[in-house]
Amino acid sequence: MSVSSNALAARRREKFRLRREMLMLETMTNAEESVGPLREKLKHVKSRHDDLEEMLTSLALKHETLLTQATALRDQSLRQQADFDNFRKRTQKEKEQIRTAAAENAVANLLPVIDNFDRALASSQTAMDTEALRKGVQMVATQLQNILQGQGLEPIQIDDSTSFDPTLHEAVSIEERTDVPDQHIINVMLPGYKFGDRVLRPAMVTVARNVAPAHAPQNEPTPSENSADEPDSSSGEENN
């Protein structure tokens, strides 16, 4: 082989090497250009990851705090419920004690009345004095009324000037009268009673009605349906 042939082959190899190096350099340059955005994106992802890690840590702390508060509130609610149950039981027991004490007091106040009734019954078997017996029974009745009034029972007061009041009275019968004002009560068949502001029993009464020339009053009382079951007017008390 001649020297010129060797030199030509050497130049070709050098040229090939240079071309390969240029291709490698070009490839590396292109790779560097494409990796740059990826590095920026990776940097952004890492920053976002760090933010999420911090947020997750904060949420975990808040979760622990809320869990602790929820546990404390639940324990407080259970204690309050237990306190309320104890208060309700204690209040119920106190009410029962008050009710029992009131009943005992009422019964104790009635014992003298029972004693006087027994004495009146015993004397009625031997005594011939009916007036004395009547006074004894009257005394017992007065004593019983005083005890009941002391407990809050009040009779519904009715006199000659009392007009019919449907909230206090019940008209058992109506009589046409000209000597008594219209709708005035003329007879009490059964007394009524109040306990405080409550009407325990309305008074059963007879009401006067004047003969109206034209129209009867629209609020005129009407006899109750159970008037047939009430005592006859001749057995009731006359107004004082």
Return the H-helix or E-strand segment holding 208. strand 203-209
Average pLDDT over residues 184-207: 92
Residues 132-179: tens digit of each pLDDT: 777 878 888 888 888 888 888 899 999 988 999 999 999 999 999 988
* HSE-up of residue 113 (Cα within 13 Å, Cβ side): 15
Q: What is the pLDDT of residue 220?
A: 59
**DSSP summary character for residue 200:** E
More confident residue, 35 or 55: 55
CATH class of 156-235: mainly beta
* Residue 240 reports pLDDT greater than 60: no
* Residue 77 clears pLDDT 90, i.e. is over it: yes
pLDDT at 216: 47
pLDDT greater than 70 at residue 57: yes
Spatial distance between the Cα atoms of 183 and 209, rounded to a whole number of angstroms = 6
Q: Of the spans 21-30, 124-133, 193-202, which averages the highest pLDDT?
A: 193-202
Question: What pLDDT does 239 receive?
Answer: 42
**Best CA proximity match to 239, nearest among 176, 163, 137:** 163
Instruction: Give me the numbers of helices (H) and strands (E) for the chain, helices first please.
Output: 2, 6
- The edge-to-edge listing of strands for the beta sheet with 185-190 is 169-176, 203-209, 185-190
- Mean pLDDT in residue range 104-129: 75
pLDDT given at position 234: 40
End-to-end CA distance of the chain: 168
Between residues 26 and 1, the one the model is more confident about: 26
The model scores a pTM over 0.85 = no
Strands 193-195 and 185-190: unpaired
Query: Where along the chain do its domains lie?
Result: 156-235
